[in-house]
Amino acid sequence: MDGLNEMFHAGGYTPNIRRADGSTEGLPCVEFNMRFFDAPKLHASITHEISVSRIGTTSFTVRHRFTGEGGTYAELTDSRVWALHVDGGLRKSPLPQPVIDLLNARKVSEAEE
């Protein structure tokens, strides 16, 4: 999640903030799939790449790759819904336009995946 938050922050958007109406935005995970290929050596430098594979009305899917030393250590697919924490529960909400813009900047075509 830290990489995803860093991606939003780097793009100028702060997720999980309290809104003027008292609700708080959130990005709960609704699906997660991870595959491990290899283990890095102790103290190895690892690169975390994030690309967007799907953008919906209220949700999106990202692909994470962890690479280094010429190989891939792990890949994962992470689907999240945009939600508001209101009255003690979660309610899905449309993706804000600034978030859509940030996601589109990292969107890859199916042929690129």
Q: What is the pTM of this model?
A: 0.85
Per-residue pLDDT, averaged over 18-45, amounts to 90
Amino acid of residue 62: V
Q: Give 78's pLDDT tier (boundaries 50, 70, 90).
A: very high
Per-residue pLDDT, averaged over 54-70, amounts to 95
Q: Residues 91, 82: contact at Cβ < 8 Å?
A: no
Residue ranges per structural domain of the chain? 2-105
Q: Residues 71, 64: contact at Cβ < 8 Å?
A: no
- Is the model's pLDDT at 21 over the cut of 90? no
Q: What is the pLDDT of residue 74?
A: 96
Q: Give 111's pLDDT tier (boundaries 50, 70, 90).
A: low
Fold that domain 2-105 belongs to in CATH: Thiol Ester Dehydrase; Chain A (3.10.129)
Q: Give 88's pLDDT tier (boundaries 50, 70, 90).
A: confident
Lowest mean pLDDT among 20-24, 58-62, 73-77: 20-24
Q: What is the pLDDT of residue 1?
A: 54
